[in-house]
């Protein structure tokens, strides 16, 4: 029983080792134009929000 368990463990270890070595390279995908527009809109909205927040506080002059 002990030898069978040891043999099974060695088989599992070797298969796991082979799976780790067969990693496929990561392929980076480009952003679509709609995603770029959404990012640009969010950045613009954040800038507008910051500007309005500063405008609501007349004592503080700096934007950042």
Whether residue 61 is contained in a domain is answered as yes
- How many domains does the chain fold into? 1
Q: Per the domain annotation, does 27 fall within a domain?
A: no
**Any domain includes 24:** no
Three-state DSSP class for residue 55: helix
pTM for the full predicted model: 0.45
3 or 46, greater pLDDT: 46
First to last CA, the chain: 71
What is the mean pLDDT of the segment spanning 14-31? 75
Average model confidence (pLDDT) across the chain: 82
Give 23's pLDDT tier (boundaries 50, 70, 90).
low
Considering the domain boundaries, does residue 64 fall inside one?
yes
Residue 44, pLDDT score: 96
1-14 per-position pLDDT tens digit: 678 888 888 888 88
């Amino acid at each position: 029983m002990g030898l069978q368990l040891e043999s099974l463990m060695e088989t599992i270890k070797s298969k796991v080792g082979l799976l780790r070595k067969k990693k496929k390279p990561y392929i980076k995908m480009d952003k679509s134009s709609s995603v770029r527009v959404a990012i640009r809109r969010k950045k613009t909205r954040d800038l507008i929000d910051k500007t309005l927040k500063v405008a609501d506080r007349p004592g503080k002059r700096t934007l950042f």
